[in-house]
Amino acid sequence: MVSFFTLFKYYFSNNRVLYFKIKQITGLFPINLSCYQQSLRHHSIASKIHQNGSKNSNERLEFLGDAILNAVIAEFLFKKYPYKDEGFLTELRSKIVSRVSLNDLALKIGLSKLVEYDKKSMQNINVRNSIFGNALEAFIGAIFLDKGFKKSKYFIIEKLLRYHIDVDKLQQTEKNFKGRLIEFTQKNGLSLDMDVSEITHGKQKIYRVGAIINNVHFGNSEHTNKKQAEQQAAEKTLELVKNYNFEPVIEKEDFNIDHAINSEDEIPLEEVEETIEKEENVME
């Protein structure tokens, strides 16, 4: 129970906006606001606080929150699916706590708007793909330090899982999007190419992948991991092609000399000469 004095203090403090934003996101009144402030501070703007180089960023809280999140999700799935084996539970948990899923959750609950970072750091694709999901884990670590395990569990189950994740639907989600795309194109008689190029950004190598179906480009994606870039490009493409009407690919037919003789169309001289030369070679 938060005292009237604590509410009064934060209501008239410079941090009152953050205080009530946290209350809105978690459903809980924060007490130790400094924990939450640190959880929302990316290392790109963190200050050095120890001679060993340690900074007051959210990385240590991320480590703590990751452990708590995995424990809570593991218990939740263990009780929800009493007759499922270890492999099923592990795979489903990995889908829930994946970096893509956590980033999405951070955006949905509005936590991403509170994260502090140097905008230049977003030029790094690894940072763009993980910054908000990492902050969410750190935020969970802050709740644990401020409120304990029981309240952390409440936030994860009631504020994240209940409103933003359909666990039953998620278990049917296929992660191999590239395999699904290949199956889709083969089933519908379409051609498929995965266009892969490498980009060097400083010391970082980035893979840019685009899916090409019947000569139409879809689903471009970038990632430092080639397989991940392919999966992301395939996932985007699967969404884009749902209602797309593909034109058949018309392949260039072999030139026919008999057709040329009987045709009124004007045939390029180069094609005639090339065909005659081929036929002469065959006769020899």
Burial class (CB in 10 A: 0-12, 13-18, 19+), 28: middle
The strand order across the sheet containing 192-201 reads 192-201, 204-213, 216-223
Q: Which of 246, 237, 244, 240 is nearest to 182 (CA)?
A: 237
Give the number of C-alpha atoms closer than 13 A to the C-alpha of residue 106, restricted to the C-beta side: 27
231-to-24, 41, 234, 264 alpha-carbon distances in Å: 35, 30, 5, 50
Can 66 be counted among the known catalytic residues? Answer: yes
User: CA geometry: angle at 26 spanning 25 and 32, to 5°?
Assistant: 110
For the CA atoms of 200, 201, 205, 209, the dihedral, rounded to the nearest 10 degrees, stands at -80
Q: Which of 62, 66, 146, 222 is catalytic?
A: 66
Can 166 be counted among the known catalytic residues? Answer: no
User: CA geometry: angle at 103 spanning 100 and 104, to 5°?
Assistant: 85
127 touches 43 (CB < 8 A): no
Q: Which of 59, 75, 137, 258 is catalytic?
A: 137
- Two tokens, residue 126: 């690894």
175: Cβ contacts below 8 Å, ≥ 6 apart? 95, 231
State phi, psi for 196 to the nearest 5 degrees: -115, 130
Give the residue numbers marked as catalytic.
66, 137
